[in-house]
Structure formats: C-alpha cells, structure tokens
Chains A and B, each alone.
Chain A
Amino acid sequence: MGSVRNSKNRKKPKLAVFKFASCDGCQLSLLNAEEDLVSIGEAVEISHFLEASSHVEVGPYDLTLVEGSITTPGDRERIQEVRKQSRVLVTIGACATAGGIQALRNWGDHEEFQQAVYPHPEFLDTLATSTAISDHVQVDFELRGCPVNKKQLVELITDILHQRKPRFPRHAVCLECKQSGTVCVAVTRGIPCLGPITQAGCGGLCPGYDRGCYGCFGPTAQANVSGLSHWLLKHDMPKTELVPLLRNFNAGATPFREEGNRLAREQDTELE
C-alpha cells in the first residue's frame, strides 16, 4: 500500500520537533496523544524533540513540526536552517501559523514593551514583531489551533506517514456547533461569537460551554470578517470590545488583522 509502515527494510522516517516563541502547548498535545504516542514512537524515529527526549540526531528530517513564532534575529536564522534540514515542514499552532498571542506586540511600541517588562532591555535581542513561520520559509502544511487539536495532530502525522496530503476542514466552527447539537450562543443570547469566521477544528468547544468562540483556529477560508463586525456593531457592540476580540491568538492572521485595523482606524477618527 505504499505506506511507510509496510516497507520493512526502509529506515523509519525521522521526526523532528522544533520550538520557537511559544508556550509549548502544541508540543504537549503530541505528548497528550497518550496511546497514539506509543504507536507514533514505533512508526517514526524521534530524532529531535527536546521536550520529550535527550536523544538528538542531526538532520535531515523527514517530517518536521514547528511550533512557535519568529521573534528574535537568532530565530529568524535558525528557521532557515530548520527548513534546509526538513523534507516536509509543518507548522503547528497559532504561534507558528499566525504569530500567536505575542503578535500583539506588532501593534505596540516594542521598546516601550521591553521597558515595561525588563529592567535591562539592552540584554535582550529581539525583533519588534512576532511573525508566522510562513513569513520566513516555505511551509508545506499549516495545522491551526491554539492549541492544535491533538486528534488532528495525530491524523496529520499519520497522513504524512502514509503519503497522504493532509486535509482538514476549512469551514466555520458553526458547522461543528450544529453537528454536535450545541445551541448558538450568538442567536440565543447575543454573545459575540467569532465562530462563523473561524475555522473548525476545536469541535465547537466554546459555544458548548456557553461562551462565544474567540478564534483559536484562525480565520476560515474567505472569512467575511466585516460582515460579522457590521452586524455586531449594529447590535450595539462597541468597537472598543470588537477590536480586542479580533486581536487574540490569531491577531496576525490577515483577515482578522485587516478588519481589526480598519475598525481601530475608524475608532481613532471618531475620537478626534
């Protein structure tokens, strides 16, 4: 069947996990795969996964998972090297696919941020922005989520082991809500919910817990962000609340970023 598993005499494919600016949550999702973790461990050679193993092999790697965003000059270079060493490079999680929560610095004054947190900013060597991996190197596949869904992560690894192109839904969270029988919190309670413009993958988690979706999985393909913000503004949601809603873990994703910026500009002119 052409699966890697079947070709007994071939060496096991090498898996590497690299981390950039992140919280480790996406890597942890792999350790959280529990039973599957053992099977993955059998199917691949874990060649570089610092959080899980002291066994470190040099590249090239067959599959590289990259967590985290680019925030330092050093990392900007390191990712180039990682790319060179990787046959298939997959980014996992909002940090890697959109810059993560730390991309909020892109709207702030970097120096002032440094001063607010560190007494000696001069010891630091960081960039003024937090950017997605795909802004720096070519990425073969992006797995969304903050954190990624561990089922999807295992599925992705399986897909690659079996030489399948990974395919995940690009539709809205709303489908998952309805499929799981969750009642829409936007319609029944007027709670602002990003579900209609956020990519599925979490299973409609937040609405199932009576709160609005806050966009962990980033924008859907062709997300109509202004369509949603238009409705919310018409229904008395102030821009001061709407802008931060769009600026969460996927603040750096283009559709969220652009609409957030547009609203913020309008807000500024209104204030003047």
Chain B
Amino acid sequence: MEYGNRQLLAKEGLQDLILAMQALEYMVIGPKIEQEAIVYEEINSLEDLPRGWTDLQTAGTYRIKRRDDDAYFGYVVGPRSLKHYLHPPRQLVATATRDGQRWEFESIENIEQKYAFLGVRACEIAAMRVQDRVFLQGDYVDPLYAKRRESALIVAVNCTMAAPTCFCTSMQTGPRCTDGYDLALTELAEAFVIEAGSDKGEKILRDLPCSPVTTADLEQARKLQQQAVEQISKTMNPVNLREDLLENLNHDRWEETARRCLSCANCTMVCPTCFCSTVEEVVDLSGDNIERRRTWDSCFDIDFSYQNGSIVRNDIRSRYRQWLTHKLATWHDQFDQSGCVGCGRCITWCPVGIDLTEEVAVIREKKCSE
C-alpha cells in the first residue's frame, strides 16, 4: 500500500488525534515540561504540550525558553528518549519462588501497556531501530521489548529547527522522517501537515478532521524542514570513523579526556541507543521469594567490567574509550551500523560538557604513531 497522502490538520485537531489514540487504549507519551525541561511524559490532553516553548542546548547546558510563537513542537530533543518506555530503566524479567525443597522459576512475558509516542523525531526513530537490531534481530528476542515495540504507535514530527548539539545530517538519520512512523506531522505556522506511514496510522488519519493541503502549505513545510537542515552546524564525518578509532586505541587523547570525564554515566543514560543493563537479584528476608530485575547499567560503572575479583576497565580512560569506540566503531562489527544517530543528547547532558564530536576530531587530527 502507498501512503504519504498528505493532508492538513488544524492545530486544535491535535486534540482529536490525542483522543483517537486514547480511544484505542494507548497511553499517550508526548512532550511535557517537567523540572525545567521538555521530557516525554504521559499526556492527557493538548494542554500538556509545551506550547510556545523551546529549548536552548549547548555542551553541558540546557535551558527552556519562551518562543515568540505558539508552536507545539518548537524544541529539539530532551533528556528522555523512547528507550525510557520501550526498554525501561527498571524491569522485572523473572521470579523464583521456593516451594518446599523445590524452586519455581518464571519469566515475565506479558505486558499490557500500549504506548503511543507523540512528537518523535527522525533521529529517535533511527535510534529505536538501532535498539530493534539489538533486542529483536539477533539470536535472542527480548520478549518484553518485542511486546512494547510491536504495540507502539509512532507519531513523528519533522524537525523545523535544530540545536547546536544536533548532527543527524552527519549520521544520515534526519532531520526529516522518511519511514518507521505510523503518522508524521510537520508543524506550520497555522496547522500541521499530516501523513500516514502505516495501516495503523492510515486508520487513525481517516477519522481526523483534516482538510486538503495546498501547494503553499507543502512549500511552507519544505522550507521549515530546510530551515532545520540549515541550522545544523555540528558535523562528524562517519566515513572511516570505525578504522580511525580502532587504529588509535592508544592515543594520548584518551588520557586527556579521562581527566575531564567524571565516569558518571549520564551520556549512556540519555543516549537513545545505549542498551546496557544488569539483572539484579532482589531477595526477601526469608530468601524464598526472589525477583530478578533488569536495570539500566553503563560501561562507565566501574563494576561493569568486574571479572573474577578484578576490574578489566579499571580507569576512566579505558571506560571512556570503551564507550566511544563501541558507539562509533565496534557497533558496526556487531550490528552493521553505527550506534550513534547524531541526536546530541550525550553532549548536552554531560555535566562537564564533553562533546564526542570534538573528541573524535582530535583523535583523527593527530593519529597515534603506533
């Protein structure tokens, strides 16, 4: 089936979209101002959206600010990504219960919650696909991720602005959404251009109060999308990046970065593709009832590489190196793609403003002799 039949949705029509998703029993997750940031949260109505707000981002800082218009999606990306919901930070995966001398082992496979994501950007769709590759397309399928992912509805938004931390154009993941969504919106001054990208989306679109688009609307949409492209100033050349890093595992820069890096793991937590986790054993006092809980972990955690009484990556240098080289280099070996989608979150949310694109540039500039 061919989609892409574009239509015009009035700004208030967004409320109909939210209601339609709720009627289909989705929990709608969309942008909301919380703790002075625009984050993905449960949305009950249009009122919850950050209408007229934008974000200002640089390495290590993020501020929200009023816009001089009433745009609903006039901001870039926040600290949370879809992974917060599809691969949640804490997740019960299995239980063990003692029954006399025997043990009952169960794994959790059912999840009722269905999510509809509103406001998803192109880089976020790309990131979700990177996680699909990890959790769905190897020898083992994560049943909980699969359930959530399959039942999710994606309402994408084409970016009309970019932050100084964005570099999706380098990573070829945005700013325009090309596929992987059920519905996509482009926000114009007075309305949205809306199009379906799947049957699910098409069905919802059919019942929305839309009107035909004019060429002028499409031209405005194109211009706004172009505006986002033009605002992107950061770059990271992906060509040969894998080799450039793997051939420089002993570069002096790693040591220098280690003096700044706090090994706090923020970059890995906010990164929409980072997937590392640990299963913890939660035991009651009797020892008879056990929950095996998976929680987000990070290669920056010193105990992450614990092995037989010692730590393999026992300094910040090797931990930072592991992160960067995994993300940008060995990810290709493992999953045939880059682990970075260029969303810039790790740059903004690093409490000491370390910018991976700068690190890469320095390493490339003066390759190590060895």
Asked whether the complex places CB atoms of A and B closer than 8 A, the reply is yes
Q: How far is the CA of A172 from the CA of B297 in the complex (A)?
A: 11
Interface flag for B62 (CB, 8 Å): yes
Question: Which of A53-61, A64-72, A127-135, A177-185 interfaces with chain B?
Answer: A177-185
Interface residues in A, total, Cβ within 8 A: 46
A residues 113-129 in Cβ contact with B at 8 Å: none
The B141-176 residues at the A interface (CB cut-off 8 A) are none
CA–CA, A1 and B62, complex, Å? 52
Contact B351 A184 (CB under 8 A): yes
Q: Which of B259, B269, B316 contacts A178 (CB 8 A)?
A: B269
Q: A31 interface residue, CB < 8 Å from B?
A: no
Chain A contacts with B in 147-162, Cβ cutoff 8 A: 154-155, 158, 161-162
Q: How far is the CA of A155 from the CA of B290 in the complex (A)?
A: 13
The reply to whether A181 and B285 contact each other, CB–CB distance below 8 Å, is no
Q: What residues of chain B lie closer than 8 Å to A230, measured between beta carbons?
A: 260, 352
Q: Mark B252-278, 1 if CB is under 8 A from A, else 0.
A: 000000111111111001100000000
User: Is A181's CB under 8 angstroms from B301's CB?
Assistant: no
- Please state if A224 and B262 are interface contacts (CB–CB under 8 Å): yes
Q: A178-B296, A228-B352 are in contact. Are A172 and B263 (CB under 8 A)?
A: yes
Q: Which residues of chain A from 1 to 27 have any CB-CB distance to chain B below 8 Å in the complex? A: 1, 3, 5
The distance from the CB of A203 to the nearest CB of chain B, in whole angstroms, is 11
Give the distance in Å from the alpha carbon of A5 to the alpha carbon of B287 in the complex.
9
Cβ–Cβ contact B349 & A184, under 8 A: yes
**B residues in contact (CB < 8 Å) with A:** 34-37, 39, 60-64, 79-80, 84, 89-90, 258-266, 269-270, 283-287, 295-298, 300-303, 315-316, 348-349, 351-353
Most buried by B among A3, A40, A161, A178: A178
Report whether A181 and B84 are in contact in the complex, using a CB–CB cutoff of 8 Å: yes
Known A-B contacts A154-B285, A183-B34, A193-B351; the reply to A231 vs B259 at CB < 8 A is no
Name A227's contact: one of B61, B64, B260 (CB within 8 Å): B260
Q: Are A171 and B62 in contact, with the CB atoms below 8 A?
A: no
A43 contacts B285, C-beta separation under 8 Å: yes
Contact between chains at B295 and A178 (CB < 8 Å): no
A174, A224, A228: the one within 8 Å of B266 (CB): A174
Q: Does A221 contact B (CB under 8 A)?
A: yes
Given contacts A172-B262, A224-B316, whether A187 and B269 have CB atoms under 8 Å apart is no
Q: CA of A153 to CA of B258 in the docked complex: distance in angstroms?
A: 33
- In Å, the complex CA distance between A228 and B263 comes to 11
Most buried by B among A3, A5, A227, A230: A227
A182 to B285, CA, bound (A): 30
Give chain A residues whose Cβ lies under 8 Å from the Cβ of B303. Answer: 169-171, 221
Which residues of the other chain, B, contact A189 by a CB distance below 8 angstroms?
36
Instruction: List chain A residues, Cβ under 8 A from B352.
Output: 196, 227-228, 230-231
Bound: A36/B286 CA distance, A: 10
Q: Which residue of A lies closest to B55 (CB)?
A: A188
- Pairwise interchain contact A188-B351, C-beta atoms closer than 8 A: no
A193 vs B269: C-alpha distance in the bound complex, in angstroms? 17
Contact B262 A183 (CB under 8 A): no
**Residue ID in chain A nearest B58 by CB atoms:** A187
Please name all residues of chain B whose beta carbon is closer than 8 Å to the beta carbon of A40 when the two chains form the complex: 285
Given that A188-B37, A197-B262, A227-B262 are contacting pairs, would A183 and B79 also be in contact in the complex, using a CB cutoff of 8 Å? yes
Cβ-defined contact, B80 with A181, below 8 A: yes
Q: Can you list 6 residue pairs at the A/B interface with Cβ under 8 Å?
A: A172-B263, A172-B265, A181-B80, A182-B35, A183-B37, A220-B263
| Minimum C-beta distance from A141 to chain B (A) | 15
Complex CA–CA separation, A5 to B34 (angstroms): 47
Cα–Cα, bound, A195→B298 (Å) = 16
Q: Which residues of B contact A269 (CB under 8 A)?
A: none
CA distance A169 to B316 in the complex (A): 17
Partner of B79, one of A154, A162, A169, A184: A184
How far, in angstroms, from A189 to B35 measured CA to CA in the complex? 10
Cβ contact of A169, chosen from B62, B301, B353, cutoff 8 A: B301
**For residues 217 through 239 of chain A, which have their beta carbon under 8 Å from a beta carbon of chain B?**
220-224, 226-228, 230-231
Name A232's closest neighbour in chain B (CB-CB): B352
Please tell me which one of the listed residues A39, A162, A172, A181 contacts residue B283 in the complex, with CB atoms under 8 A apart.
A162
Query: Assuming the A-B contacts A184-B266, A224-B316, are A231 and B261 also in contact, with contact meaning beta carbons closer than 8 angstroms in the complex?
Result: no
Q: What B residues does A30 contact at CB under 8 A?
A: none
Q: Across the interface, do B315 and A196 meet the contact criterion of CB distance under 8 Å?
A: no
Residues of A within 8 A of B287 (CB): 1, 3, 5, 158, 162
Cβ-defined partner of B263 (8 Å) among A3, A5, A39, A222 = A222
* Contact in complex: A197, B89 (CB < 8 Å): no
CA distance A1 to B286 in the complex (A): 11
Q: Which of chain A's residues 171-213 have a Cβ closer than 8 Å to chain B? A: 171-172, 174-175, 178-190, 193, 195-197, 210
Expressed in whole angstroms, the minimum distance between the Cβ of A18 and any Cβ of chain B is 23
New A-B pairs, 11, CB < 8 Å, besides A5-B286, A183-B34:
A3-B287, A158-B285, A175-B264, A175-B298, A181-B89, A183-B35, A186-B351, A224-B260, A228-B262, A231-B60, A231-B260
B241 nearest CB across to chain A (Å): 26
Report the 6 A-B pairs with minimum CB-CB distance, sorted nearest first: A178-B269, A196-B264, A183-B35, A179-B89, A171-B301, A196-B262
B34 near A172: Cβ-Cβ < 8 Å: no
| Chain A residue nearest in CB terms to B304 | A171
Chain A residues near B349: list those with CB within 8 A: 184, 187
Q: Known contacts A5-B287, A43-B285, A184-B351: does B260 contact A175 (CB below 8 Å)?
A: no
Report the bound CA distance from A22 to B63 in whole Å.
Answer: 41
Minimum C-beta distance from A234 to chain B (A): 9
Is the CB–CB distance between B285 and A178 below 8 Å? Answer: no
